[in-house]
Amino acid sequence: MKTLTLLRHAKSSWNDPVAADFDRPLNKRGRRAARTIGREMKNRELRFDRVIASPAVRVIETLDDVTEGYGSPLHPQYDRRIYLASPAALLDLIHEIDDETERLLLVGHNPGLEQLALLLADGGELRDEVAVKYPTATVAEIRIPVQHWRQVRKGMGNIVRFIRPRDLDPTLGPDEDTH
């Protein structure tokens, strides 16, 4: 059994004068949401053998704040392929993961993460929630009954957790931002 956890970056600032989307930082609410999600990940005893993340500024800052809330380092490995990746590109990356890794955390962007969760999930109530909206700083945990990451295919998984910041602190939602 493999466990894939997807974390969408926290809410970023559209008001910051950066030249490129890649360089957009988090806003204050995003930073607070990331710390809140980190604490919840610790409370639920989520563990990861490997963390792979987009190197975009908003993802790096999200992981910094998640780590603060989580209370221990996550040791992310940054991979440019995750930046605004399609679900097919993310699945290609998953297929490359070594089989010693049982619990993988991918940190990135929408719409790729949401579409990947919908692609992998075989149905269920939490899949329906993902289909409605995958807000910023949200975690989806998917269990996939395979021995090898290269075996992961459409419809094989089961979403067992879908943790939104607004469910933990109502002042962190609703998230109207689609970025």
CATH of the domain at 103: 3.40.50.1240
Spatial separation of the C-alpha atoms in residues 179 and 177, rounded to whole Å: 6
Q: Is the pLDDT of residue 179 over 70?
A: no
Please indicate if the annotation marks 140 as binding a ligand.
no
Spatial separation of the C-alpha atoms in residues 42 and 71, rounded to whole Å: 8
Residues 154-171: pLDDT tens digits? 999 999 999 999 999 999
The answer to whether residues 13 and 166 touch, using CB atoms and an 8 Å cutoff, is no
Q: Does residue 23 belong to any structural domain of this protein?
A: yes
Please indicate if the annotation marks 8 as binding a ligand.
yes
Stated pTM of the model: 0.95
Spatial separation of the C-alpha atoms in residues 171 and 140, rounded to whole Å: 21
Q: Does residue 178 belong to any structural domain of this protein?
A: no
Q: Is the pLDDT of residue 178 over 50?
A: no
Please indicate if the annotation marks 109 as binding a ligand.
no
Percentage of residues in the chain with pLDDT exceeding 90?
Answer: 89
Residues 136-149: pLDDT tens digits? 999 999 999 999 99
Q: What is the DSSP letter of 128?
A: H
Q: Does residue 19 belong to any structural domain of this protein?
A: yes
Please indicate if the annotation marks 13 as binding a ligand.
yes
C-beta atoms surrounding 90 within 10 Å: 24
> Which pLDDT score is estimated for 43?
98
Burial class, 22, CB count within 10 angstroms (exposed 0-12 / middle 13-18 / buried 19+): middle
Q: Does residue 179 belong to any structural domain of this protein?
A: no
Domain region containing 20: 2-172
Q: Does residue 157 belong to any structural domain of this protein?
A: yes
Please indicate if the annotation marks 31 as binding a ligand.
no
Please indicate if the annotation marks 14 as binding a ligand.
yes
Q: Does residue 132 belong to any structural domain of this protein?
A: yes
Q: Give the confidence band of 15 by pLDDT, cuts at 50, 70, 90.
A: confident
Closest C-alpha among 61, 105, 100, 65 to residue 82: 105
> Which pLDDT score is estimated for 17?
72
The token duo for 97 is 């993961």
Number of domains, the chain: 1
Please indicate if the annotation marks 11 as binding a ligand.
yes
Please indicate if the annotation marks 27 as binding a ligand.
no
